[in-house]
Structure 1
Amino acid sequence: MEANPLLEILMKLRFTAGLSEEDQDKLAAIARQRKFRAGETLFTEGSDHKDLYVICSGRVEICMTIPARGCLPVLTLEAGDLVGWSTILQQGEMTATVAAIDETEVIAINAEALRALCDADHDIGYQIMQRIARALSQRLVACRLQVLDMYGEQPGQTFQSEKGAVE
């Protein structure tokens, strides 16, 4: 029997590592490899997109449109990270634009087929949703740190609280 190259890749990726070989085989059946050149857009904010991506190699930048400022970078992702999670949750339009920084290879998983798989097999559904939740939690922490960095105190700056001045 010939080895499935997608299965071999899925076994090594942070997002899918630890899933049983049977579950990874199910994912491989609804997935395909895609490559993006540096500077190429994976999807754009506001578009309807059908795939969830797991990055195999390379890096991508997530940008969001800010009125009067344009599309600004908010996060960089790399191998093992998940991109396009909102499509699995059927949220409609994509919430950001994602472009490859370097040549990037991804595993594209059809979101509709993945939802059907998760509905049919609740064990894999739980594993996938747990991993998506973990990825979203990490993004939330990254955003919080970014906000703290943007609005953080400057050295020597004093803040006034109810209890008095705070250095």
Structure 2
Amino acid sequence: MTKAIKLLTALPRPQRERLMALAREVSFPEDARIFEAGDRADRFWVIRSGAVSLTQRVTSLQRVTVASLGAGDLLGWSWLFPPYEWDFGAEAFSPVRAYEFDAASVLALCEEDPRLGIVLVRSVAEILAHRLETTRGRLMEHYALHGRGSL
């Protein structure tokens, strides 16, 4: 399995500095819902400290954690793709500090600086590919352990 990509360290210094000029420091208390699946995705975060659980609603009363994110991880990618709605929900598993980025401002910056735009999109794509690979591995382990058939 490949090593997880951290968005801010993946960007070259000039592009990282331009992006960070748009950052706003935020915090979430433990158990805070950060966003819900289906809501409008108009921002994203880079986690500075703490842990966030990505969740999928299974029933009206039950959510399942599909991934856990920590320091340096990107939280939110749905702001990049139509229909600009969250695919999952997110909840602070512990107190969280993060950099928050307004999607419209970042997209405007990417139009102004195409190098930043391509590096940012490639970095997000690598992050998504890694998460997909990790999720696939977890599913295969789950099915192997629980004998629920083959994928």
Q: How far apart, CA to CA, are the structure 2 residues paired with 1:151 and 1:104?
A: 32
Runs (4 or more) in structure 1 with deviation over 4 Å come to: none
* TM, length-normalised to structure 1: 0.77
Rate the CA distance shift 1:90–1:52 in 2: closer, same or farther, 3 A: farther
Measured after TM superposition, the shift of residue 18 of structure 1 is: 5.0
Moved more, 136-145 or 21-30: 21-30
Which residue number corresponds to residue 128 of structure 2? 136
Q: 4, 16, 23: which is aligned to 2:8? A: 16
Contact 1:88 1:112 in 2 (8 A): no
Q: 108, 114, 124: which is aligned to 2:100? A: 108
Q: 52, 55, 78: which is aligned to 2:44? A: 52
Q: How far apart, CA to CA, are the structure 2 residues paired with 1:68 and 1:51?
A: 26
- Secondary structure of the residue aligned to 1:17 is helix
* TM, length-normalised to structure 2: 0.85
Highest relative contact order (Cα 8 Å, sep 6+), 1 or 2? 2
- What count of residue pairs does the alignment treat as equivalent? 144
**Unaligned residue ranges in structure 2 (runs of 5+):** none
- Secondary structure of the residue aligned to 2:99 is strand
CA-atom RMSD, angstroms?
2.1
**Unaligned residue ranges in structure 1 (runs of 5+):** 1-12, 160-167
Q: How far apart, CA to CA, are the structure 2 residues paired with 1:44 and 1:15?
A: 22
Q: How far apart, CA to CA, are the structure 1 residues paired with 2:109 and 2:81?
A: 14
- Secondary structure of the residue aligned to 2:9 is coil
Measured after TM superposition, the shift of residue 123 of structure 1 is: 0.6
Which residue number corresponds to residue 109 of structure 2? 117
| Structure of higher CA gyration radius | 1
Measured after TM superposition, the shift of residue 153 of structure 1 is: 5.4
Which residue number corresponds to residue 88 of structure 1? 80
